[in-house]
C-alpha cells in the first residue's frame, strides 16, 4: 500500500452493550488540522460534546508543524486508479460531493449522511470555496506512456481530453485558513470547547483536559510519532515548499468560466520537486509549487528550490489564462512557505482501538479512534474520514 492509502476494518471493534443508541458522548480530539476540525464538526452535528486540544490553531497563526495553513487545498487526486482495497478513493469522492453541497448544489444526494446533517451543511461563498477550471498535463518525459483516464473523471465537473497529454476539468479550490475558521464557526455551540496545550500521551491528555472522556480521537498528525502511548515511528514529515506571488490583475472565477485557473504537471519530478499553480478565487494571490520530501524535518526555505519552482511554473504557464501567465512571467513574491505534512509509511491510519484497563480492571484509556497520516491529501479526504469516524462512533454506541 502506498503512502496515500487508507485501510480500515468494519469488524475490528466491538459494540458496547451498555451504551444506548444516539447517546451523547464526551469526546476528546487531539489535533486541530483539517482532519481534526472536520471530525469535530461532524460529531457536533450529531449532538456530541467535543473538546479539542491543540498546540496550533491553523486559522490564528501559521506553524511549520501544522500543514493545513500551508496547503494547496485543491481537490486533486494523485492516483489514477480506483483502489478497491483501501478507502482513499472513496473518501476523496465523498469529500468532493460534500463540497458540492457546500456550494449549494442540492441535486447531489449524499446517501451516506442523514438528511438532517445534509441540510445543516454550511454554504460557502467563492472567497472561501470555489470552483476552479484546472488543467492536468503529462510531461514530455512520459509522453510515450498511455495517458490513463483517471477514476475521478466522473466525479469532477466537465472533464474533457484536450489531446493525448492534456485534460481539463473543474474542481474545488479553497482558502484553507478561512475555510477551517468558517467551518468551525458554523458548528460552534456550547458543546464545543478548545484548550491550547500539549500532552505527553493520550492518557495524560485525558487526565489533564477531559477526565470523563468516553472516546478519544487521535488526529495529532506528526504528534502521533511522539505521544508515549502511540509512539508510531511510521509517522514521518513530508516537507513541502511553496511560493505565493501577487496576481497582477483580478480574475473572476466561476463554474462556467473556461479559463484555466490551476495547473498540475505530472511526470516532471526531479527528485522531490513538483510543478503546480493554484489560483485562489477572489484573491490577489497565486500559489506556486512545490516539493514533497519524505523524512525531511527542515522548515527553512531552500533558495535553490525556490528558483526551480519559479522556472518550472514559467515553463508551463502558457497553459494558463493570460492574467496568470503575466503574473508568473514576472513574479512579485509575497512570501515563501514551508510546512511539514503528516505522512506515514505504509499509508494513513484510521482504526478503532479498544479501551485499555489495568490488572484490576480500572480504565487507563477509553476507546480511541486513530485518524492521522494523510500526508498531502488532508483536505481532499477530510469529509470522507469524518464520515467514517461518525460511522465508527454510531456502531460503538448502538445496542446489539
**Which residues have CB under 8 Å from 43's CB, separation 6+?**
27, 50, 389, 390, 393
- Give the position of cell 483539517: 34
Residue 75 to residues 89, 169, 267, 313, 382, Cα–Cα distance (Å): 12, 11, 19, 19, 11
**Which residues have CB under 8 Å from 301's CB, separation 6+?**
241, 336, 338
Q: Pick the range with the lowest mean pLDDT from 93-97, 205-209, 375-379, 382-386.
A: 375-379
Q: What is the mean pLDDT of residues 215-232?
A: 96
Per the model's pLDDT, the better-predicted residue between 110 and 229 turns out to be 229
Give pLDDT, residue 22.
61
Task: Give dist(CA 171, CA 281) in Å, integer.
Answer: 12
Give pLDDT, residue 8.
55
C-alpha cell recorded at residue 346: 505504509
Q: What is the topology classification, in CATH, of domain 26-396?
A: Rossmann fold (3.40.50)
What whole-number percentage of the chain has pLDDT above 70? 82
What's the whole-model pTM score?
0.89
Residue 109 reports pLDDT greater than 60: yes
Q: Please tell me which of 7-21, 250-264, 282-296, 375-389 the model is most confident about, judged by mean pLDDT.
A: 375-389
Average of per-residue pLDDT values in the chain: 85
Q: What is the mean pLDDT of residues 3-20?
A: 45
Instruction: Say how many CA atoms lie within 13 Å of 223 toward its Cβ.
Output: 28
Per the model's pLDDT, the better-predicted residue between 8 and 267 turns out to be 267
| Model confidence pLDDT, tens digit, residues 78-92 | 776 676 667 889 999
Amino acid at each position: 500500500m502506498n503512502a496515500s492509502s487508507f485501510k480500515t476494518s468494519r469488524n475490528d471493534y466491538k459494540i458496547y452493550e451498555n451504551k444506548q443508541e444516539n447517546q451523547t458522548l464526551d469526546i476528546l480530539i487531539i489535533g486541530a488540522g483539517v482532519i481534526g476540525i472536520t471530525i469535530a464538526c461532524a460529531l457536533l452535528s450529531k449532538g456530541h460534546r467535543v473538546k479539542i486540544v491543540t498546540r496550533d490553531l491553523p486559522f490564528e497563526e501559521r506553524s511549520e508543524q501544522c500543514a493545513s495553513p500551508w496547503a494547496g487545498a485543491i481537490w486533486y487526486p494523485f492516483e489514477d486508479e480506483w483502489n478497491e482495497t483501501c478507502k482513499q478513493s472513496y473518501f476523496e469522492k465523498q469529500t468532493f460531493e460534500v463540497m458540492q453541497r457546500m456550494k449549494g448544489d442540492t441535486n447531489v444526494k449524499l446517501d451516506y449522511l442523514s438528511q438532517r446533517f445534509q441540510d445543516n451543511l454550511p454554504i460557502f461563498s467563492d472567497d472561501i470555496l470555489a470552483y476552479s477550471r484546472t488543467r492536468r498535463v503529462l510531461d514530455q518525459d512520459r509522453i510515450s506512456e498511455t495517458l490513463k483516464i483517471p477514476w475521478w473523471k466522473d466525479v469532477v465537473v466537465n472533464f474533457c481530453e484536450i489531446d493525448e497529454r492534456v485534460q481539463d476539468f473543474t474542481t474545488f479550490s479553497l482558502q484553507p485558513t478561512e475555510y477551517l475558521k468558517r467551518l468551525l464557526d458554523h458548528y460552534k455551540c456550547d458543546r464545543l470547547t478548545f484548550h491550547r496545550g500539549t500532552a505527553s500521551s493520550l492518557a495524560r491528555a485525558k487526565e489533564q483536559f477531559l477526565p470523563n472522556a468516553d472516546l478519544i480521537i487521535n488526529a495529532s498528525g506528526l504528534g502521533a510519532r511522539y505521544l508515549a502511548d502511540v509512539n508510531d515511528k511510521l509517522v514521518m514529515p513530508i516537507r513541502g515548499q511553496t511560493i505565493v506571488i501577487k496576481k497582477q490583475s483580478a480574475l473572476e472565477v466561476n463554474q462556467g468560466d473556461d479559463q484555466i485557473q490551476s495547473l498540475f504537471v505530472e511526470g516532471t519530478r526531479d527528485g522531490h520537486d513538483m510543478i503546480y499553480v493554484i489560483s485562489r478565487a477572489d484573491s490577489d494571490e497565486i500559489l506556486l509549487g512545490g516539493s514533497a520530501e519524505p523524512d525531511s524535518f527542515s522548515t527553512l526555505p531552500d533558495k535553490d528550490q525556490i528558483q526551480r519552482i519559479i522556472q518550472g511554473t514559467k515553463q508551463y504557464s502558457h497553459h494558463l489564462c493570460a492574467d496568470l501567465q503575466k503574473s508568473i512571467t514576472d513574479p512579485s513574491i509575497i512570501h515563501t512557505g514551508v510546512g511539514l505534512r503528516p505522512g506515514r509509511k505504509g499509508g494513513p491510519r484510521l482504526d478503532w482501538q479498544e479501551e485499555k484497563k489495568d490488572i484490576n480492571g480500572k480504565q487507563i484509556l477509553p476507546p480511541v479512534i486513530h485518524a492521522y497520516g494523510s500526508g498531502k491529501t488532508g483536505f481532499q479526504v477530510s469529509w470522507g474520514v469524518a464520515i467514517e469516524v461518525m460511522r465508527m462512533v454510531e456502531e460503538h454506541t448502538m445496542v446489539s
